[in-house]
């Protein structure tokens, strides 16, 4: 299960191939959960938008980052109840997410709920593609007095592109999206949508496509975080 996160963040699994397409039907809300200690229970709302029953499986994994790599590991500290269900057409279902660990939350604990719509062999037809949804929902259990994220940024060369590294010295996570790298008035590179998280006390890395490696000088990172727009200086590694 380690290093699988990039493959499961809101992915579609393809079965059979070629001509027709059967649309996937599973929706999950909210898209993330945050609980302040001592709260230990939340809910996920599942909806089946299709015209046929679906089988759903919910699994909880401990989420961590080490050496710039995402890791998911089985856990019993947080569970989904129930862990599976059969949903009727256009039906809705509630799944409880419960922290079962008796240990107090020290800073911020991070997990992911993996919600899968399971394939139904009875619906498989020759010459069709069935799109099966997988949702990856971040879950955070945190103390109210947690030290906020404090991220330092570094830029280095990787192949024909750049590697952006974020080191978080705070206790809480940092969510990065819609980034732009600039040098003076010139835009060096950009990346739209969600880039990823730097968890508390962790280091994370992301490749950034660019046409030219910056030749020294001050680099500015502009983007969106959990708290809104931000600017940050970026240290450029010497080649």
Q: Which of 1.10.101, 1.10.3470, 2.60.40, 3.90.550 would CATH assign to domain 151-236?
A: 2.60.40
- Take residue 86 and report the two structure tokens written for it: 């059969």
Residue ranges of domains in the chain: 26-142, 151-236
Which pLDDT score, from 0 to 100, does residue 220 have?
95
pLDDT at 12: 40
* Mean of per-residue pLDDT scores for the chain: 87
Q: Tell which wins on pLDDT, 131 or 143.
A: 143
- The two tokens of residue 68 are 């710039």
Architecture of domain 26-142: Sandwich (2.60)
Fold agreement between 26-142 and 151-236:
yes
Tens digit of pLDDT for each residue in 93-117?
999 999 999 999 999 999 999 999 9
pLDDT in tens, 161-184: 899 999 999 999 999 999 999 998
pTM of the prediction?
A: 0.86
**Mean pLDDT along residues 118-138:** 75
pLDDT at 61 over 60: yes
| Burial (Cβ within 10 Å: 0-12, 13-18, ≥19) of residue 168 | buried
Inter-residue contact 191 to 161 (CB < 8 Å): no
The first and second tokens of residue 205, run together, are: 């890395």
């Amino acid at each position: 299960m380690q290093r699988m996160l990039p493959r499961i963040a809101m992915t579609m699994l393809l079965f059979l191939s070629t001509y027709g397409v059967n649309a996937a039907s599973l929706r999950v809300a909210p898209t993330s959960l945050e609980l302040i200690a001592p709260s230990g229970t939340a809910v996920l709302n599942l909806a089946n938008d299709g015209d046929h029953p679906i089988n759903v499986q919910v699994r909880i994994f401990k989420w961590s980052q080490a050496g710039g790599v995402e890791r998911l590991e089985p856990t019993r500290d947080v569970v989904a109840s129930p862990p599976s269900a059969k949903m009727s057409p256009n039906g809705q279902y509630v799944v409880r997410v419960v922290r079962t660990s008796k240990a107090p939350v020290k800073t911020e604990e991070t997990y992911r709920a993996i919600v899968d719509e399971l394939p139904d062999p009875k619906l498989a037809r020759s010459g069709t593609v069935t799109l099966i949804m997988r949702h990856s929902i971040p879950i955070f259990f945190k103390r109210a007095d947690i030290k906020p994220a404090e991220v330092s940024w570094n830029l280095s060369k990787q192949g024909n592109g750049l590697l952006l590294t974020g080191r978080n010295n705070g206790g809480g996570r940092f969510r990065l999206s819609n980034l732009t790298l600039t040098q003076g008035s010139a835009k060096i590179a950009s990346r739209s949508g969600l880039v990823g998280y730097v968890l508390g006390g962790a280091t994370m890395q992301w490749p950034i496509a660019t046409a030219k490696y910056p030749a020294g000088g001050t680099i500015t990172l502009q983007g969106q975080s959990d708290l809104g727009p931000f600017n940050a200086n970026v240290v450029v590694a010497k080649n």
